[in-house]
């Protein structure tokens, strides 16, 4: 069975304090790994897709990396507006649209 585990469940950072969120996965046939951001009362918003080990993607203060067993979302010098829940999802070869989500990391950035 495909499994996606995110850690930590919650993270509180001071503004400017860099850190990383982890997404570890156990799947058969990875097609892609996705990172989403979810704000309270809203649907998840797409951030990145990673397809193969060694791949990296960047957007503003966020950088996502991928290995064969896990992905990291690095947040450099975060700002309060980066506060949100970050979701990791893996798409596998188990059929069309077979996507397994992690339970997310709730990030709070304090001014």
d(C-alpha 103, C-alpha 88), whole Å? 8
Q: Tell me: does residue 89 bind other proteins (CB under 8 A).
A: yes
Using CA atoms, how far residue 96 sits from 27, 44, 62, 93, in Å, is 15, 20, 29, 8
78 versus 104: smaller Cβ distance to other proteins: 104
- Nearest-approach distance from CB 13 to other proteins, in angstroms: 23
d(C-alpha 32, C-alpha 12), whole Å? 28
Q: Tell me: does residue 43 bind other proteins (CB under 8 A).
A: yes
Interface residues with other proteins (CB under 8 A) are 4, 31-32, 34, 36, 41-46, 49, 87, 89, 91, 95-99, 101-104
């Amino acid at each position: 069975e495909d499994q996606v585990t995110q850690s930590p469940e919650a993270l509180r950072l001071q503004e400017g304090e860099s850190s990383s969120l982890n997404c570890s996965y156990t799947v058969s046939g990875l097609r892609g790994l996705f990172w989403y951001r979810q704000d309270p009362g809203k649907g998840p918003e797409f951030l990145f897709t990673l397809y193969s080990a060694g791949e990296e993607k960047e957007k503003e203060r966020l950088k996502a990396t991928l290995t064969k067993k896990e992905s990291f979302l690095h947040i450099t010098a975060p700002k309060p507006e980066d506060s949100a829940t970050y979701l990791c999802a893996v798409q596998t070869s188990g059929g069309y649209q077979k996507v397994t989500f992690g339970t997310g990391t709730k990030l709070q950035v304090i001014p």
